[in-house]
Amino acid sequence: MHPGFIFLAVVIGSVVFHLVTPWWWTDIASNWGGMDDTILLTFWIAGGVFILVCLFIVYCVFKFSYKEGRKAEYKPEDNKLEKILTWATALGVAALLAPGLVVWSQFIKTPSNAINVEVMAWQWGWQYRLPGEDGKLGTTQVTNISDENLFGINLDDPYGKDDILIQSSELHIKKDKPVKILLRSVDVLHNFYVPQFRAKMDSVPGVVTYYWFEPNKIGEYEVLCAEYCGVGHYGMRGTVFVDNEQNYKNWLNEQETFSDVMAKFEQIKLDVNKKLAKK
């Protein structure tokens, strides 16, 4: 079989596979439809270039196949063709980058009414901190992290006393309410990613990174770590529940504050000391 037909079959097969593939992104559940739009634009531009280049190669394979007596033309330069390719490439790159820069600009401009949610990553799990009634998260310091104070909250910061601590991999957020995710890590690089929200960011040790989104569909969504973080990376998963107003309030009322946790530890210490004293 002529190699041109084989290459043409590869091109057609690639396009058909893309159109009928069962592996596609999940249904979106946030405001970031722009993420999908930029990906589709990339598919159209990159896919169009791929098809044109491949068809040109197929044409060349047929047109310039070996024939006895045929001589190749020596043409080391073509200024006109180089200019056309340079401008076409520049326009294609600009068309790919410009929409992404617009979406990125929106991605890092957090609405003023967003709720701050701190996500603490560790090998290999997640835990969360939400502001209490004062609406502000207390300040933290890495040196404060201990078994009693897993988030390293500063004990002399009044804003931290009522912070709500979620020492599990389950997080609840409110539907149609912007959420600003503040990412921290106690060990290595991680990445907090919920595919349906179309938003993610690296969690870097020693740095607080952030992004925001607005969930718009009630449901249960899986959290994945999208940055290889060690042998337990595959199991670093969690769950985000998007609730209505009432269910969110009910869940929030069941959670412990930083003051509650510290009081528990103090009581445990007292009980242990009493038992030791009796001995």
User: What confidence tens digit (pLDDT) does each residue in 40-98 have?
Assistant: 888 888 888 889 888 988 888 888 877 787 777 777 888 888 899 899 889 888 888 88
| Cα–Cα distance for residue pair 201/161, rounded to 1 Å | 28
Does residue 121 sit in the same domain as residue 148?
yes
The DSSP H or E segment spanning 58 is: helix 33-63
How many contiguous H segments (helices) and E segments (strands) does the chain have? Answer: 5, 11
pLDDT computed for residue 212 by the predictor = 95
DSSP H helical ranges for 110-257: 245-253
Spatial neighbors of 172 by CB under 8 A, at least 6 apart, are 240, 241, 242, 243, 247, 248, 251, 252
User: Is 187 part of a structural domain of the chain?
Assistant: yes
CB-CB contact of 179 with 117 (8 Å): yes
pTM over 0.85: no
Report pLDDT for 108: 87
In a domain, residue 68? The reply is no
| Residue ranges of the chain whose pLDDT lies below 50 | none
Tokens of 76: 């080391």
| 183 within a domain of the structure (yes/no) | yes
Query: 150 and 177 share a domain?
Result: yes
d(CA 125, CA 48): 42
On whether residue 74 sits in a domain, the answer given is no
Q: Annotate 36-52 with b (16+ C-beta within 10 A) or e (fewer).
A: eebeeeeeeeeeeeeee
- Work out the angle at residue 185's Cα, subtended by the Cα atoms of residues 183 and 191, and round it to the nearest 5 degrees: 60
Tell whether 127 is covered by a domain: yes
CA dihedral 208, 214, 215, 217 (to 10 degrees): -170
pLDDT at 216: 95
Same domain, 54 and 101: yes
Residue 49 and residue 160 in one domain: no
Is 178 inside a domain boundary? yes
pLDDT of res. 146:
83
| 154 closest CA partner among 170, 143, 168, 167 | 143
Q: Indicate if 56 and 185 belong to the same structural domain.
A: no
**Domain housing 11:** 3-63+80-107
Instruction: State how many domains the chain has.
Output: 2
